[in-house]
Amino acid sequence: MATRGLSLSTRIFASTAAVVAAVLGVTLFFTSRQAAATADSTVNRSLAQATDQIATQLDARRRALQQTAEIFAKDPNFRSLVQSKTKLADLLDQSIEAQERIGADWVQIVDESGIRLAKSDEPGASPDTLGGALIGGALTGSATMGYGMTPTTGLFQAVAIPVTIPAGAQESVIGALMGVRAVDSAFARSVKAASPDSIDVAFFVLDSAGPRVVASTLAGGDELKTLILSMPWPTDEPTADAAADTTPHAPMRARAELGGVEYVALGAPLRTAAGSLVGGVVVFRNRDAEFAAFLRLEQTIVLWGGVGLVVAGLLAFGIARQITRPVLALVAATRRAADGDYTADINVAASGEVGTLADAFRKMLADLREKQALVEFLSAGNTDAKTVQMSVANAPTMAMQLQAGGIAPGMTFALRYEVKEMLGVGGMGMVFKAVDTELGEVIAIKTLKQEMLGEDPSALERFKGEIRLARRISHRNVVRTHDLGESGGVYFITMEYVEGRSLKDLIQSRGKLPVPVTLTVAKQLCRALEVAHDEGVIHRDIKPQNMVVQPDGVLKVMDFGIARLAKRKEGVTQAGMVVGTPEYMAPEQLMGEDIDARADLYAVGCVLYECLTGKTPITADTPITLIARVLEDVPMEPRIVNGEVPEALSALVMSCLSKKPEGRPQTAAKLHDLIDAIG
């Protein structure tokens, strides 16, 4: 068989190669463009985390210094010496002891006037008056903190703790204890070691000559100073809460080259207790090192992308050949099916979508063969085909027409429908063939007996709800319900018009049906119930009389939503009669219990039993006896009645006829799959 244009193999190969090449090119393009952005994002995130970590470490140092200093300041002996102010040698010893105990680099003690009494690292320090926010805040009774600098120690972190004595109900400030810890290279190295990322850090102070680096893990010299100067540092103005403004904040970013390496820097200011800018901390991340990983990735993509292009092309060509062979086989089978030959053998051993397609095609051919068997079975009969829309009990009479509200062929009903003929009469009403003059379509009209709606004031509203649900069912195996109307006191339903024979008529005229014919009937019935149950509609009156077999082998299920009208008033019977069709009703339905979709599946079992054997599972002479037998007796297995019934099919029918709903297949879809596995 000739193909038009390029073969499928060539097109798949070319398309795959083009896609791989395009993806490779786009990947390289966006990788090169986004690598820098990704690297910068990673760098900035790492710097922000490092800055937060430094702030946490500085705050931890400050809190540890403050807490130990507060403990030391409460020592009675220390308080006494500060209050006396005379034993300066002892106070010097106390400052040295405080330095050791609180872990400070040096400590100094002042009296309530701010006059220095002792300094641990300067035994001969003069008794100067110390001012400023740090000491001043402590002398007002509050612990204060901040950063400072000296020409010798550089940048330091300090706390000042008030020294108090009881004065009645309050405390009287008699001096202050100031502890200092230097921010030096050792601290800078500890910060770098504690960081999960590879960062560098520098601490600096600002003096009259400009920034002076006091601790750094990075060599830089003048370049480092230039970078610090280029950063947008805040103005040297006190903050609203100077005492609290002692940790890094308000980050400043910059990018610079130090020693031939590009760094991204993130800085934060450090302030005195008064809020004045004293210096800052700068965290560095090597941008070149971060970006190097993306450069290596780009090289890897280029290398392996080229290899992948070659391999993908070869694989695509091989896969294409594997696809085309089974596809061509399916094409040949399709041509045979189009000519009416459904016997093609789909010998395709493929997986994936092609295998799924082959399985679907096999199933389609199987369904077509089954329908063909049903069509041949219909055409082989001697009984003339009838046009039906429901079970025909007797020939329509004038009395029936009067019962239908005077509807008769030749009249226009409800100002819209031209009635052509009466099709039949059943337990719920009559059925007419008519033409909808507004739409120009042939439809069926089913009138409803007045007493069915008049017995219960809520019956009409309940029935309208059922019809609304039934209208949502749209499936080729379901007779479509159009509308519910009323004219001259007669309620009626309009529905799809179907030509064919009722399944009941087929069984009565031909006896038991062949197994293949029964299987195709069963599958189509299950499909109809599946879509109905999915919409929340339970038929409640599944029986052969409610099914029409069209000449093309399509089964149509009728009266969805209508059986709800057949409600018993009390118990199982009333005056010895049962409303409905007890031969096909599940035990729980006969007992008036709440039912679900599994009641319909019991009825399916009854229908299949009748198709396979020519009779219903349970028979009796009177309705009462029939109901009792349905509730108690187990019918004879179909394969015993008809030896042609496969054991698996017989067992499945018996499971549908289980007295308990849980013993039956739980859904119509499950029942369909079980039947499909048999046939």
pLDDT digits (tens, 9 = 90+) for 187-203: 988 888 888 777 889 99
Q: Is residue 353 in a domain?
A: no
* Domain end residue (candidates: 236, 270, 290): 290
pLDDT digits (tens, 9 = 90+) for 14-26: 777 777 778 777 8
pLDDT of 249 strictly over 70: no
Q: What is the pTM of this model?
A: 0.51
Q: How confident is the model at residue 75 (pLDDT cuts 50, 70, 90)?
A: very high
Q: Is residue 316 in a domain?
A: no
pLDDT of 654 strictly over 70: yes
Q: Distance between CA 596 and CA 533 in Å, rounded?
A: 9
Q: Distance between CA 213 and CA 199 in Å, rounded?
A: 17
pLDDT of residue 389: 46
Cβ–Cβ under 8 Å, residues 202 and 213 = yes
* Domain end residue (candidates: 290, 324, 340): 290
Q: Distance between CA 120 and CA 316 in Å, rounded?
A: 82
Q: Is residue 319 in a domain?
A: no
Question: Residues 285, 425: one domain?
Answer: no
pLDDT digits (tens, 9 = 90+) for 343-401: 666 666 666 666 777 677 777 777 777 776 677 677 666 444 444 444 443 444 544 55
Helices 515-534 and 597-613, axial angle in degrees (round to 10):
170
Question: Residues 484, 605: one domain?
Answer: yes
By residue range, what is the domain housing residue 474? 398-678
pLDDT of residue 50: 85
> What six digits make up the tokens of 77?
């002996």
Cβ–Cβ under 8 Å, residues 494 and 482 = yes
> What six digits make up the tokens of 347?
């010998």
> What six digits make up the tokens of 99?
């330095």
Question: Residues 18, 164: one domain?
Answer: yes
pLDDT digits (tens, 9 = 90+) for 282-303: 998 887 777 777 777 777 777 7
Q: How many CB atoms lie within 10 A of CB 453?
A: 16
Average pLDDT (592-611) is: 94
What CATH number is associated with residue 451?
1.10.510.10
What CATH number is associated with residue 215?
3.30.450.20
In angstroms, how far is CA 102 from the centroid of its own chain? 57
Mention every residue, 6+ apart, whose C-beta is less than 8 A from residue 98.
Answer: 69, 72, 78, 104, 107, 109, 120, 177, 179
Mean pLDDT for the chain?
A: 81
Domain tally, the chain: 2
pLDDT of 466 strictly over 70: yes
Question: Residues 408, 283: one domain?
Answer: no
Cα–Cα distances (Å) from 624 to 576, 578, 633, in that order, read: 7, 8, 14
Q: Is residue 568 in a domain?
A: yes
Q: Distance between CA 358 and CA 250 in Å, rounded?
A: 67
pLDDT of 176 strictly over 80: yes
Q: Is residue 496 in a domain?
A: yes
E strand spans, 129-169: 144-150, 154-167
Q: Is residue 321 in a domain?
A: no
Which range of 191-195, 547-551, 657-661 scores highest in mean pLDDT? It is: 657-661
Q: Is residue 364 in a domain?
A: no
Q: Is residue 427 in a domain?
A: yes
pLDDT of residue 519: 93
* Domain end residue (candidates: 254, 272, 290): 290
Q: If 0-12 CB within 10 Å is exposed, 13-18 middle and 19+ buried, where does residue 112 land? A: middle
pLDDT of residue 86: 85
